[in-house]
Structures are given as C-alpha cells and as structure tokens.
Structure 1
C-alpha cells in the first residue's frame, strides 16, 4: 500500500464496476468539468480525489496510537484544478475556489502570502479545510525545495464537489483536506506524491481547524485499495497494509445507515471529541505516574498531545520485562492480547473514580501545578469539563485495541478464518459480529460517544438479522455500520424504514442516501483531464 498516489486513466480505476455507480460518477465528473469551464473560462488541468471511509473496528483508538481497520467508500471529495503563475512583483499567490453546490458553499478568492497560510479555526468556514491542506502541502514543498530559494507556490483555480455527508461520521473533512493537499502538491509540480507523506501532512493539517485528529481517517482516505480493508498502524511509524475479508456463506455485506443526527466534531469538540483526546492523554500520564518508577517519562510520539496510552503500554511492559529479567533475553514476553488484558485489569484497580478526576487531583498525581497541567494538556484545543473520566476512557481504548487484535485474527489466522469449501460459516460470521456489538456497547456505556438514535438503529438491525452493529466515526450521531448476511439486507433495510426513517421528515435526497450497501473502495488518486472532459 505504500508508494505513490496512483494516476487514474479512467473512472473505472477509481470506482466499483457496477453500472449504476459508473453512470452516476461519469455524469458527476462531467458536470464538475463543465461547470469549471463555465466558472473560469478554461478547462481544468486535473482532478484530485480522496474518499471518505467507514471504520470496521477500532473506534476512538487511533489518537492513542493503536491500530485500526477502516475501509474507503465510494463517496469522496473531488477537486478540479487549473494553475497560473503568481505575480513576480507580488509577495502573494492567489487561490480562487468555488463549490459545485454554490448556494450552500459560497465562492472565495484569497491572496495568500508566500510564507504563511492563516486559518481562523474559530470560524466554521468550508474553505478552511482547503486552507488546511494547502498549509500542510506548502510546508512539505518548502522542505523538498529548500535548495530553491526562488520557490513560489502556483496560483490555483479550484472547483470542488463532495459526496461524503458532513457530520455523518464518514470523514468528509479528512477527504476534503487530503484531496486539497494532493491538489496543491500536483499543482506545484509533484509528479509522484508519496502516500505516507500525504497522509502524515493531512493528519497534522486537519488539526489546524480545531480537531485533535488521530490519523485513521486520512490513512484510509489515502492508502486504501479497492476490494480490501486497510490495517493502519501508527507506532513506531505510520504503516498500512491491505486486509482481505474471507468469502463466507452466507456472504457478508456492510450496510452504512445514517442517523441524520448531525455530529460536527469541529463544533462540539470542547465537550466531545477533543475532550476525549485530552482524557486519553491524561489517563496515559496518570497511569505512568501511578504504575511506573518515579521520574519515568513517557516517550514523545505522534499522538495529538505528544503522549499516548500506547506509549504508556510500551513503556510499562518494557520496564516490567527488564525488572523481572534484567539479564535474560530468553524469557518469553507476554503476547499482545495478554498485555492488553493486563492493562484492562490495571486500569480497573488504579483508576478507581467512576465519577472522574478533577484538575487538582490529576495535577497532584503528576506532581505538577494545575496551571502546568492546563498548559500541557488543555491549552492547545479548548475543552470544557469539571471532571475527566480517565478510568472509562482508558478501559475503552485498551479493550477496543484488544477487539481489533481478535477481529484481525479471525480474518487472517489460517486456523480461524473459514476454508474455501463453501461450507456454512454462520458461526464464524457471528463471532465477527459479536466483536462489533461489543464495540458499540463500549462506545455507548464506557466512552459515552453514542446517542439514542444510533443505539436504536443498531437494535433494529440486530433484531432483523445483523450479525453486528455499531456506530462508526466520531459518534454522537452520524452513521452506523452493520455486518449483515446478504440474504438479510432487504429485511434490515425494511425494518429501518418501518421503525426509524418513516418517523422522520426526510427529503427525497436524504431518503436515497439513508442506507448504503458498501464494499471496500480505492483511495486517493489524480486524474489528468484531456481537452476538458473524461476519456
């Protein structure tokens, strides 16, 4: 999965091959290119594309640097682009950006200094996501062109269209930021964009709009390959590899169901998403102070606040192994599942306050002042809380990381995945589904990131035949993902319509988008336009 972002020669290189998708995407892309010429008076040079994602398992653990298993979806952000030289006499370059949904997202024109891209994260403006990708891409370009003191970013004209529902838990922001960064790199002459570099800059870039992003969304958007889920690891460095889902009988299908409860983590971050990030980092610091020798420092890492529960995990067991076996390298270390199970146990006996911990209590445990605590953990992104639920957050992260391990073993271990003989795999399917159900229970009861509507969608689906149902994405609304046997898809959809959607006032467009039958899609791509139209 590593390597460079592919150049697509046709839309068949990007989307699934069914006729309905091909016709719909062909019309959409032609509409984009036609409107680009109508808006700017000339043809686009290329289109940059990055998709949304659905997370199969591994919820809210990426920013604690534990591996996750998402897959890309067909819904995406596409940016048609042309370039023109910046004025030599000016110290700025120009960005003209418009949206195919112009009534909802107004056009803008920016004159941007060569040395800075200002983003006001307090203003919820759609072009901030492009600016985030622009800022990250320019930082990378300056590193690559450090021997070229005369480097000036190209001015760009952009027309964007997105089909990933905003606030739906399918990573619309990551798709837009990743596609934006890719567009800027290509516009400035990067003919071979490295996937890892693009992902890493997109992860950091999205934080500019006020979200402590972990990295799963951007990784799935950039790295994914059609037909496979993607196993993303964040430590000791960012890596991704494809994971094939075995053939089963009955065949497994992923359904994505919208709750139509908006879940904009950029707006509610101080009490939801960003607060969870802070609580996880505080839990890592507290466990380190309580369980490791005095003066033990957690390693700085790629987590949003520089330390993580994964960093505590690694440090704790490294010290345990050294203390128990100071002169032996032959002693068998515990397995990863054993380590995670032990961390669950240690969390329960160490972080005992169900009601949460005050700033004063945490500062005392860390042997620092409250002002030092706030400067270190709560000043970068605003959070609002009187108490921090360290016990619950750590329990979810460690138990969810263990569920990812078990899910992956079911998919890949030769003794656990089904044979290719076509025998009934209902029991195997149910084991996969049970792990998804456990995730939903933990998200609802321990991490507290579900909502009644998501809970209802999951309950309806399970009664109608889903093996496993859970929220996907940040939570607090948005979407849910369901592992459903192919012969039960219609029954599950009918149950949702009867018990949930029929009770809502939805537009025809919303009704069509309410439920999506999904399969693993492809990641970021660049398409060079020939004479203003698709080949």
Structure 2
C-alpha cells in the first residue's frame, strides 16, 4: 500500500493502523444541515487513507502524498498547524488530553475542488484511526461530530454535520437519510444499476472558496430569519406562507429554499423506498432551481452544466455541495451517458470554458480499517 510505504520511509517504522474514509456526494438536501433539516448524501469511491501511529510526546509529524514536499511537517504544538495540516491537527485538538502526539501519513484521491468533501474524508480517517489506537470507544456518529468540531472550531469553517456523517456512516449501495437535529439516520437502498441508471458527477473545474464569505453569510441569514420567526431553526417552520409574509429580501428567499428543500428530501426518500428511482429527476431539477434563485449559491458554470445535462437526456440534474463552483450531478439512463457528456462538453466549448471533468459515482462504503 502506497501510504504505508510512504509512512515507513518518512518515519522509519510501519504504522500501527490504517483507515480509509470516503468523500461524499449529496443526492439532495443542500444547505439544510445547519438549519436542522434533512439531507440525503452517499459516499463516493474516492477518499483519504490515513496511516497513523501514536507518539509518547506532543509532537505531530504529518506527511501528505499530495503535498508540496516529500518531507514530513513537524509541529511541536497544535497551534503551529497551517494550511491542510489544520484538518488533521484539529482532530487531535478536539480530543484534548485523551491523545498526545502522532505520526500521520495521508494519501487522498478525492478530486480536489470538486465539492466532494475531501476535508471531511481527511478528518474522519484520522479520527477513526485515533479512536482505535487510543481505545476511545467512539461510535461512527461521535467520530463524525468530533470531525465536525475540528472543522468548525479549529479550522474555522462553519460547516454542518452532513459531510462528516456521510464519510463515517454510509453503507455501500445506500444513501444516508440523516435528520440533522436528532442525528437519527437510516440507510436507504440506492441500487442505480438495477434501474439501468447512473449518477454522473460533472466537475465544472471552477473552484471558488466559499468557507469564509458567502457560505458564512447564508448561514447567518438563516439564523437571523429563524430568530425573527421565533423558532430554534428553519426546520421548525411549518407555515411557510405565513413565514414568508413576515420576512423580506434575502432572508425571505433563504427560508423559501430551506423549507422546500427539506420537503424534497423526504419526497425523494419516499420515491426510493417505493422503488421509483427513475422518477426522482424532477426533484433534482427543482432543487437546483431553488439553489440558483432562492439560495443564490449556484454559478454560471453549474447552471450551464445542469441545463445541458437535461437537454442531453438526463432525467434530472442539480448542483451539489456548498456552491459557487464545484460539481453538479445528473441522473442518467445508462444508454444516455455519452449524450449527456457530449451535451455538457459542447456547451462549455461554446463558451470557451475549461472542459468539465466527468466522474461516475457509485454509493460506496463509509470509514473502514484497511490494515
């Protein structure tokens, strides 16, 4: 295993454990997680593998096979972490005195910038390894929550729980129906091949950073709207028409999206449970229009990808992830894959944009031990 060989070369011994955690695609339920709503992600085949050994001191040594140097980065304290190292060190920081230092080598194949949550995969793989090494007894959901705290409190990204939960809990061949308030979850069969379907990821190759600016602004708008409506979170809005009458401007639009998007998640789960997988496309389309017009987190590249995919024969398509770039997904019949790819590629070529990248997504296994 490549990461084991790298660990051995960097640190002079074999790692004590190796864990892999996947990235994720969100089938539907965007920007609902931090509003206590519902989400429906599934794990993707790409992820981050962490080879880890504990240390008796506080030193943290980190090596990434995707990093700019082949030499490990040595940190005497957790506060010295910068850049990508913050995601791994943040996990140790959240564990506090329960762990000391560690030697960590990382190898990831999540397409960078595509909105497939490589950061959650990194956090969950490291947290899972440390959980085993220190016999912490954390459940998969507790590992997800720990990883989220690392991203929120140490890295400073105000993300919800969806990404880490998907990475830690997903099952192969299933999507994860997650209630972001109660953290109750249920695996929903997503056997695309049985229906001659594929989920095609369309990576726009446009990678906008949304961690500090627009993403945080949307979250603040939702929290402000909830306060004005007298509810703990937008999940609690039951009279949408009445709520919209009490709000204006951007806050009104944000509430419209969040409330209807959570309903779309429940509707899509109902279709999957009824075996009507081929019929979910209309909900994907509606989700994208809401994200574009009400939540305003799409981009020209995402809009063109969605429109061209549907024009090329996709049953439905939507942006996925935080927005402002990244990826769209399309539900496509097996025999229309080439047509959809050609339609999107042609639309990009007409605009002289960087050609998009296409990835076939199959629901994969959540975090698991490799060695």
Q: CA deviation at 1:438?
A: 0.5
Distance 1:399 1:484, change over 3 A: same
- How many pairs were matched up? 369
Q: Residue in 2 aligned with 1:10?
A: none
Q: CA deviation at 1:103?
A: 2.2
Q: Would the aligned equivalents of 1:228 and 1:520 in 2 still touch at CA under 8 Å? A: yes
Are 1:118 and 2:79 counterparts?
yes
When the two chains are superposed, the root-mean-square deviation of aligned CA atoms in Å is 2.2
Q: Residue in 1 aligned with 2:38?
A: 67
What is the SS of the residue equivalent to 2:7?
Answer: helix
Q: Residue in 2 aligned with 1:477?
A: 325
Q: Would the aligned equivalents of 1:70 and 1:231 in 2 still touch at CA under 8 Å? A: yes
Q: Residue in 2 aligned with 1:198?
A: 143
Q: Residue in 1 aligned with 2:244?
A: 348
Q: CA deviation at 1:249?
A: 7.7
Are 1:182 and 2:132 counterparts?
no
CA distance in structure 1 between the aligned counterparts of 2:42 and 2:190, rounded to whole angstroms? 11
Q: CA deviation at 1:250?
A: 5.3
What is the SS of the residue equivalent to 1:68?
Answer: strand
Are 1:37 and 2:44 counterparts?
no
Are 1:108 and 2:73 counterparts?
yes
Q: TM-score, normalised by structure 2?
A: 0.93
Distance 1:57 1:476, change over 3 A: same
Which of 388, 393, 397 is the equivalent residue of 2:258? 397
What is the SS of the residue equivalent to 2:158?
Answer: coil
Unaligned segments of structure 1, at least 5 residues: 1-29, 87-92, 142-152, 289-297, 299-306, 314-338, 355-388, 419-427, 529-535
Q: Residue in 2 aligned with 1:224?
A: 170
Q: Would the aligned equivalents of 1:280 and 1:309 in 2 still touch at CA under 8 Å? A: yes
What is the SS of the residue equivalent to 2:185?
Answer: strand
Are 1:77 and 2:48 counterparts?
yes
Q: CA deviation at 1:245?
A: 2.8
Q: Residue in 1 aligned with 2:156?
A: 210
Which of 183, 200, 208 is the equivalent residue of 1:238? 183
CA distance in structure 2 between the aligned counterparts of 1:504 and 1:203, rounded to whole angstroms? 35
Q: Residue in 2 aligned with 1:138?
A: 96
User: Greater strand percent: which structure?
Assistant: 2
What is the SS of the residue equivalent to 2:262?
Answer: helix
Alignment of 1:20-419 (within 5 A): 30-86=1-57, 93-103=58-68, 107-112=72-77, 117-118=78-79, 125-138=83-96, 141=98, 153-190=99-136, 192-208=137-153, 209-235=155-181, 237-245=182-190, 251-266=196-211, 269-270=212-213, 272-288=214-230, 298=231, 307-310=232-235, 312-313=236-237, 339=238, 342-343=239-240, 345-351=241-247, 353-354=248-249, 389-413=250-274, 417-418=275-276
Distance 1:188 1:172, change over 3 A: same
CA distance in structure 1 between the aligned counterparts of 2:19 and 2:360, rounded to whole angstroms? 25
Q: Residue in 2 aligned with 1:373?
A: none
| 1:176-201 CA distance string (max 9 Å, x none) | 122222222223234x5411211111
Distance 1:247 1:494, change over 3 A: closer
What is the SS of the residue equivalent to 1:466?
Answer: coil
Q: CA deviation at 1:505?
A: 5.2
CA distance in structure 1 between the aligned counterparts of 2:67 and 2:339, rounded to whole angstroms? 38
Q: Would the aligned equivalents of 1:347 and 1:395 in 2 still touch at CA under 8 Å? A: no
Q: Residue in 1 aligned with 2:367?
A: 524
Q: Would the aligned equivalents of 2:60 and 2:101 in 1 still touch at CA under 8 Å? A: yes
Q: Would the aligned equivalents of 2:173 and 2:191 in 1 still touch at CA under 8 Å? A: no
CA distance in structure 1 between the aligned counterparts of 2:203 and 2:95, rounded to whole angstroms? 33
Distance 1:157 1:119, change over 3 A: closer
Are 1:487 and 2:335 counterparts?
yes
CA distance in structure 1 between the aligned counterparts of 2:370 and 2:46, rounded to whole angstroms? 16
CA distance in structure 1 between the aligned counterparts of 2:96 and 2:127, rounded to whole angstroms? 9
What is the SS of the residue equivalent to 2:370?
Answer: strand
CA distance in structure 2 between the aligned counterparts of 1:105 and 1:449, rounded to whole angstroms? 37
Q: TM-score, normalised by structure 1?
A: 0.65
CA distance in structure 2 between the aligned counterparts of 1:282 and 1:53, rounded to whole angstroms? 29
Unaligned segments of structure 2, at least 5 residues: none
Distance 1:44 1:501, change over 3 A: farther
Q: CA deviation at 1:347?
A: 2.6
Distance 1:505 1:407, change over 3 A: closer
